Structure 1
Amino acid sequence: MKAILKFGFVILLALLTAFVLTACSQKDTVEKVKLAEVTRSIFYAPQYVALEKGFFEEEGLDVELTTTWGGDKTMTTLLSDGADIALVGSETSIYVDAQGATDPVINFAQLTQTDGTFLVSREKIDDFDWEMLKGSTFLGQRKGGMPQMVGEFVLKKNDIDPQTDLELIQNIDFGNIPNAFASGTGDFVQLFEPTASVFEKEGKGHIVASFGEESGQVPYTTFMAKQSYMKKNPETIEKFVRALHKAQAWVEEEDTEEIAKVVAPYFEDSDVETLAVVVERYRSQGSFATDMKLTKDGWENLQAIMEEAGELPKKVDYEKLVNTSVVEKVTK
């Protein structure tokens, strides 16, 4: 009898051990998500907050971030499965659709809702007027990308023809634009933060205007994935959006210096004071899309800007490339 009881105890212990190990395994299981960002900028502060504050981990996601430097490279990475999700301008999904993609790229959550660039002059200007760009050399962004299209849209809004009223340079690789300006190319340059503020602090340039304030709301950078990935991984997308929504709310409510401290590891060349100034600059002009929903009006404004720049291949229905169901579920 003792032998039978002993044997039964051993079996019970083994079963309990197996149960505990299985439960721990399920709890510790995390899903890897490869995320490609178009550039490294304080403009994307909520994304870095989600990473640093552990919001992705809380959702069971191990997000691996890669900076791919440019819309074309980012989209190539996504389409070739080098990334599961991309943070890039919504215009890239329209370009992919125009090429007849059988697996379209879907915009499912919006991170920023204004342009994130600033006009930087080489010389200090106390009383800036857009008319000052006439006859100057303007170092713009990559042709066909949102920064360049918004830049041209703002110039035209201020009665400046970018093709005839100034010398427009847009053949420099995205990642090399700051270095080109620092080396002496251009009287004015269109830059993201924190580069613009760093240049100002170092005396290399002076911020004179915000393209975000001039252009109004537009789905500037959104998270997107191939339709096939979204259908195969609906829970992953939902967890991803939930983590980002927490981060957006945290950035909206937290002290700017605290936000700067959290994202500082992603910007080793910038001090916390500069980062805090930049965060406040973006937050005050409403750049962070706190509700994360890409609206139909925003989509139409995007295509209007593309058409004005001569870069819209064809109009694409909102419902074809935008899916707001996950955001609506998470933010309900």
Structure 2
Amino acid sequence: MKRKLRLLFVFLSVAALFSSLLLGCSTDKNDSLKKVRVAEVTRSIFYAPQYVAIEKGFFKEEGLDVQLTTTWGGDKTMTALLSNGADVALVGSETSIYVYAQGTKDPVINFAQLTQTDGTFLVARKKPEFFSWDQLNGSTFLGQRKGGMPQMAGEFGLKKHGIDPQNDLTMIQNIDFANIANAFASGTGDYVQLFEPTASLFEQQGIGYIVASFGTESGKIPYTTFMSKESYLKENRETMQKFTRAIYKAQLWVENHTAAETAKVIAPYFEDTTIELIETVVDRYKSQHSFALNPILDEEEWNNLQNIMKEAGELPKEVKHEELVNTKLAENAVK
């Protein structure tokens, strides 16, 4: 009996030692990864390549431990970045212009583009036999927040088709982003500007019908980009090079795989959305080339962004491409 107890003690001691060694190796391995805190403006299928980079291990391959937080709003996202609550922000490029216009000594620099079109769709309450933009004349339109990129791209699309947003229809802009869909579902408005997957979900449920894409109408713009403070980029250049390289790997992966394959990978980020709906949304964004094929934010896209802001009366000052955009990291990643 005593011999069995001694053997059991030896076995447990060896097992404990082995486990502690494994734990030590695991901890050392995790500690060897460079932490990068990312604040995303919202949780969206629109950002599929970012989630692919995490789930497929592209960041870890580069020695990075990306800690993702959803900050729910452009103002909150930029506040997190400026107050050092985040190292990288994923948000619309217009926010970097707003910060720059306020005279900051440490400007926010766009270094990797994730999406290259607007991500919203025009949803009509009634399904038309055919759609033409002039059908919006005299209607009530539920728009997005004034000064935000969705609203500016939406107004740009309306004006492109000869519609004055302030005079040719009733524009509602005083509803919080989180409540716009609910307001439309409860009967407010003839048309609404919605992101996915809500637009497709409404179509499935017969609440509304997608009749046009604002992404197609507004053309290529740096709609959502990764950005950091200039000081952080200088002090962590190699880390940000690795980060950008991982994003590019994910962009290529999404481009070269089916919507169904992408949907399967990113599904854990959208537990309340069916895999079929995720696939539908990914396919729609891929078909209109919303996902950037590489992280390079070129000058033409930057100027298009400022033109849209200027048209909406929201451009505080014109800013040269080289002032707020660093393309070197993205260009190196593509090489």
TM-score calculated relative to the size of structure 2: 0.90
Q: How many residues align?
A: 313
Answering whether residue 187 of structure 2 is matched by residue 184 of structure 1, we say yes
Q: Are residues 32 and 299 of structure 1, via their aligned partners in 2, closer, same or farther at CA, if it must alter by over 3 Å?
A: same
Which residue number in structure 2 is paired with residue 62 of structure 1? 65
Partner of 1:96: 99
SS state at 1:249 partner: helix
Instruction: Indicate conservation of the 8 Å contact 1:56/1:240, yes or no.
Output: yes
Letter in 2 for 1:277: T
Q: Which position in structure 2 is the counterpart of 1:212?
A: 215
Mark the CA change 1:240 to 1:134 in structure 2 (over 3 Å): closer, same or farther.
same
1:318 aligns with 2:321: yes
User: Deviation at 1:226?
Assistant: 0.6
Give the deviation of 1:28 after TM superposition: 5.2
- Aligned partner (choices 271, 281, 284) of residue 281 of structure 1: 284
Assess if the C-alpha contact under 8 Å between 1:69 and 1:174 holds in 2: no
Q: What is the aligned partner in structure 2 of residue 230 from structure 1?
A: 233
Q: Quote the residue 2:20 is aligned against.
A: none
Q: 1:52 to 1:23 in 2, by over 3 A?
A: closer
Measure the CA separation in 1 of the matches of 2:215 and 2:266.
Answer: 22
SS in 2 for 1:155: helix
Report the AA paired with residue 83 of structure 2: S
Q: In structure 2, how many angstroms separate the alpha carbons of the residues matched to 1:23 and 1:77?
A: 30
Q: 1:287 to 1:160 in 2, by over 3 A?
A: same
What does 1:243-282 correspond to in 2, within 5 Å?
243-282=246-285
Q: Identity over the aligned pairs, expressed in percent?
A: 69
One-letter code aligned to 2:156: F
RMSD: 1.8
* SS of structure 1 residue aligned to 2:46: helix
Give the one of 124, 143, 146 matched to 2:146.
143
Distance in 2 of aligned mates of 1:287 and 1:152: 19
2:81 match: 78
Residue identity opposite 1:86 in structure 2: A
Q: What is residue 329 of structure 1 aligned with on the other side?
A: 332
The amino acid of 1:256's aligned partner reads A
Alignment-mate amino acid for residue 323 of structure 1: N
Secondary structure of 1:283 counterpart: helix
The structural deviation recorded for 1:182 is 2.0
1:132 aligns with 2:132: no
Secondary structure of 1:142 counterpart: coil
Partners of 1:38 and 1:181 lie apart in 2 by 23
5+ residue gaps, structure 1: 1-20
Q: Which moved more, 1:119-128 or 1:107-116?
A: 119-128
**Structure 1 counterpart SS, 2:84:** coil
1:11 is matched with none
CA distance in 2, matches of 1:228, 1:22: 34
Deviation at 1:189, TM superposition (A): 0.9
**Residue identity in the other structure for 1:191:** L
Distance 1:180 1:68 in 2: 23
Measured in 1, the distance between the counterparts of 2:334 and 2:83 equals 31
Which range moves more in the overlay, 68-77 or 309-318? 68-77
Deviates more, 1:31-40 or 1:157-166: 31-40
- DSSP-derived class of the 1:64 partner: strand
| Counterpart residue identity of residue 103, structure 1 | D
Once the two structures are TM-superposed, the CA of residue 218 in structure 1 deviates from its matched residue by 0.9
Q: 1:68 touches 1:74 (CA, 8 Å); kept in 2?
A: yes
The whole-number CA distance in structure 2 between the counterparts of 1:68 and 1:117 is 20
Q: Which residue of 2 aligns with 1:16?
A: none
Deviations 1:46-78 (A, max 9, x none): 011111111112212121212222212211121
Task: Give the aligned partner of residue 3 of structure 1.
Answer: none
The CA distance in 2 between the partners of 1:144 and 1:208, in whole Å, is: 24
**1:70–1:175: 8 Å Cα contact kept in structure 2?**
no
Amino acid at match of 2:139: S
Please list the CA deviations of residues 25-60 of structure 1 after superposition, one character each: whole Å capped at 9, or x if unmatched.
368511221111112221111011111111112212
Q: The residue matched to 1:36 in structure 2 has which SS?
A: strand
Q: AA paired with 2:323?
A: K
Q: How many Å separate the matches in 2 of 1:121 and 1:39?
A: 24
Matched, 1:116 2:144: no
How many Å separate the matches in 1 of 2:197 and 2:115? 16
Structure 2: gaps (5+ residues): 1-23
Which residue identity is paired with 1:293? I
Is the 1:198–1:270 contact (alpha carbons within 8 Å) kept by the matching residues of 2? Answer: no
Query: In the alignment, is residue 155 of structure 1 matched against residue 155 of structure 2?
Result: no
Specify the alignment match of 1:10 in structure 2: none
TM superposition shift of 1:310: 0.3
Q: Which amino acid aligns with 1:214?
A: E
- Deviation for aligned residue 1:111: 0.5
